[in-house]
């Protein structure tokens, strides 16, 4: 689990596929040496497992599902810059929001408005993801915890302050850029539980109807 507060921007040095797995070597001085094999690390919003490291770089692996669901399948190559965050400790402050590192899908940057503080408008590839995005709520873009300014039927927008633009890869975004998107986990659980409640109500109503039909047929 993560907070969406980026610790470091790394650079992909190697990218290979071996069977069903993809491996990355990421250069990140003053970050890589803090990792241990088997730990989780957020790479532009995707939770990946560390398989090796030294003082300058580290290696991670990802499954085909992660590769397909993220922009990694479109733009990942040697030289790509990625946002990095180590896993949250229970004693840490939760300065961002609860981020699982399980990317829901991708979205395209439609436009950026403003000068210093900017408003970026995104269109998710899967429009159903907009159900989990609400005004003034939280959303994770390429691993960065951001506040939603507005959410409509086809798009949503977030605020980007100069500090965020300077410290993450979001400073390089332009119209047409593709980002990894993770909606708020709290909203997902609420939607899931609400769905179960409706199913139970429907089953209950159906059961009562069958009972009445049985009585009328006597």
How far is the C-alpha of 47 from the C-alpha of 43, rounded, in Å? 6
Contact 158, 148 (CB under 8 A): yes
Reported as a single tens digit per residue, the pLDDT across 121-174 is 999 999 999 999 999 999 999 999 999 999 999 999 999 999 999 999 999 999
Neighbour tally for 137: CB within 10 Å: 17
Stated pTM of the model: 0.87
What end-to-end distance do the CA atoms of the chain give, in Å? 59
pLDDT averaged over 10-residue windows placed end to end, the chain, 218 residues = 96 93 96 96 98 97 95 95 95 90 97 93 95 94 97 96 96 96 89 71 59 51
Tell me the residue range of the domain where 118 lies: 105-188
Torsion angle of the four alpha carbons 16, 22, 26, 31, in this order, in degrees rounded to the nearest 10: -160
Strands 21-27 and 57-63: antiparallel
Residue 32 and residue 81 in one domain = yes
CATH no. for residue 13? 2.40.30.20
Residue 170 and residue 119 in one domain = yes
Domain boundary among 86, 116, 145: 86
Residue 82 and residue 137 in one domain = no
Q: SS3 of 26, please?
A: strand
How far is the C-alpha of 84 from the C-alpha of 118, rounded, in Å? 22
How far is the C-alpha of 5 from the C-alpha of 140, rounded, in Å? 10
Say if 114 falls within a structural domain. yes
Max intra-chain CA distance, the chain = 81
Domain count, the chain: 2
Domain boundary among 86, 118, 143: 86
């Amino acid at each position: 689990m993560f907070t969406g507060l980026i610790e470091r921007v790394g650079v992909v040095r190697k990218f290979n596929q071996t069977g069903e797995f993809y491996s990355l070597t990421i250069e990140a001085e003053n970050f890589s040496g803090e990792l241990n094999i088997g730990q989780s690390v957020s790479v532009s919003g995707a939770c990946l497992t560390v398989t090796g490291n030294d003082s300058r770089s580290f290696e991670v692996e990802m499954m085909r599902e992660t590769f397909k669901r993220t922009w990694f399948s479109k733009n990942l190559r040697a030289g790509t810059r990625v946002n990095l965050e180590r896993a949250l400790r229970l004693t840490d402050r939760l300065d961002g929001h609860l981020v699982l590192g399980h990317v829901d899908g991708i979205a395209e940057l439609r436009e950026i408005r403003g000068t210093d503080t900017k408003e970026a408008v995104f269109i998710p590839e899967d429009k159903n993801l907009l159900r989990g995005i609400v005004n003034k709520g939280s959303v994770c873009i390429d691993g960065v915890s951001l506040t939603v300014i507005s959410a409509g039927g086809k798009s949503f927008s977030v605020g980007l302050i100069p500090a965020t633009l300077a410290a993450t890869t979001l400073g390089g975004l332009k119209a047409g850029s593709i980002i990894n998107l993770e909606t708020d986990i709290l909203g997902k659980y609420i939607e899931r539980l609400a769905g179960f409640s409706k199913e139970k109500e429907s089953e209950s109503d159906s059961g009562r109807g069958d009972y009445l039909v049985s009585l009328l047929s006597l």
